[in-house]
């Protein structure tokens, strides 16, 4: 499946056209869906965090979107968690969850993770544990040299990011730029856990197509190495045949853990 590039939404369009409800419907409502992409991400998160390889005091998730999907597995291994997103609609959606306004409880997400971990934890216990660690929800723009604007933070021991670099990037050089910009918020030894898709040019949010920038495995790894990170873990996962995937045209999913030099 391909898409006319001129019709794709991108960059500033996230400020107005990204509808959290549509994204959650088409992308994150079924964790067994998307050609097993989310299932693959969760299996890798589980492997990485359970091994004890990633822990620290403060975690920043970059491009959280409307759902804290990339930090539920990480939560027990850190003490404080910050969310960030470019789209105001997503920040508000996360906030409504955080304050318990009953628009959304992400029950399916917490149930999925606790079942995978198989420790008998109740989903509500896990949800409360995460909420208690959230230190704030901040704007972020990876395309801006000052990614967090005028906000200043102590160093982050862990940075996570899920499906966001490819959404924000306009060219291959952006990946290294984004990694370098974020590296300024970490000390040597800081962890970066990123997951996303390779070879993807678009994804659907309800009826709207958003641009994705396609990256290869070599370029992805080179970007982080050039930005001053050493790769500790890398796994990829082939997507379904493109004609069968109605959500996007990704070739492979990946999960990578790097350490700042």
Ligand X SMILES: C[S@@+](CC[C@H](N)C(=O)[O-])C[C@H]1O[C@@H](n2cnc3c(N)ncnc32)[C@H](O)[C@@H]1O
- C-beta nearest to ligand X: residue: 65
Q: Cβ of residue 120: shortest distance to ligand X, in angstroms?
A: 27
Q: Give 37-76 as a DSSP string.
A: HHHHHHHHHHHHHHTT-S--SEEEEES-TTS-TTTTTTGG
Output 118 or 246, the one with its CB closest to ligand X: 246
User: Whole-angstrom Cα distance, residue 212 to residue 66?
Assistant: 18
Output 87 or 258, the one with its CB closest to ligand X: 87
Q: Cβ of residue 257: shortest distance to ligand X, in angstroms?
A: 16
Chain-centroid distance of CA 166 in Å reads 10
Output 125 or 173, the one with its CB closest to ligand X: 173
User: Whole-angstrom Cα distance, residue 74 to residue 241?
Assistant: 31
Q: Cβ of residue 178: shortest distance to ligand X, in angstroms?
A: 8
Q: In the chain, what's the furthest Cα-to-Cα distance?
A: 49
Output 120 or 167, the one with its CB closest to ligand X: 167
Q: Cβ of residue 77: shortest distance to ligand X, in angstroms?
A: 18
Q: Which residues bind ligand X (CB under 6 A)?
A: 14, 18, 28, 63-65, 67, 69-70, 85-87, 90, 140-143, 162-164, 167-168
234: three-class secondary structure by DSSP = strand
Output 162 or 249, the one with its CB closest to ligand X: 162
Decide: 254 and 220 in contact? Cβ < 8 Å: yes
Q: Cβ of residue 97: shortest distance to ligand X, in angstroms?
A: 13
């Amino acid at each position: 499946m391909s898409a006319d590039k001129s019709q794709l939404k991108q960059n500033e369009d996230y400020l107005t056209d990204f509808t959290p409800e549509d994204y959650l419907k088409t992308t994150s409502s079924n964790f067994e869906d998307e050609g097993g992409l989310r299932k693959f991400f969760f299996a890798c998160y589980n492997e990485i965090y359970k091994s004890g390889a990633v822990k620290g005091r403060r975690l920043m998730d970059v491009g959280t979107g409307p759902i804290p999907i990339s930090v539920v597995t990480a939560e027990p291994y850190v003490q404080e968690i910050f969310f960030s997103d470019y789209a105001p609609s997503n920040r508000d959606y996360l906030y409504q969850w955080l304050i318990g306004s009953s628009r959304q409880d992400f029950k399916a997400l917490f149930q999925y993770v606790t079942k995978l971990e198989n420790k008998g934890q109740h989903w509500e216990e896990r949800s409360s544990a995460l909420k208690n660690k959230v230190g704030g929800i901040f704007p972020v723009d990876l395309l801006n040299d000052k990614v967090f604007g005028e906000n200043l933070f102590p160093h982050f021991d862990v940075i996570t990011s899920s499906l966001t670099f490819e959404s924000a990037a306009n060219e291959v050089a952006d990946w290294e730029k984004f990694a370098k910009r974020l590296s300024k918020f970490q000390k040597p030894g800081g962890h970066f856990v990123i997951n996303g898709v390779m070879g993807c040019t678009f994804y659907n949010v309800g009826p709207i197509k958003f641009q994705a920038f396609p990256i290869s495995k070599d370029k992805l790894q080179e970007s982080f190495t050039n930005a001053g990170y050493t790769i500790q873990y890398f796994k990829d996962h082939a997507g379904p045949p493109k004609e069968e995937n109605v959500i996007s045209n990704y070739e492979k999913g990946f999960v990578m853990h790097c350490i700042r030099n």
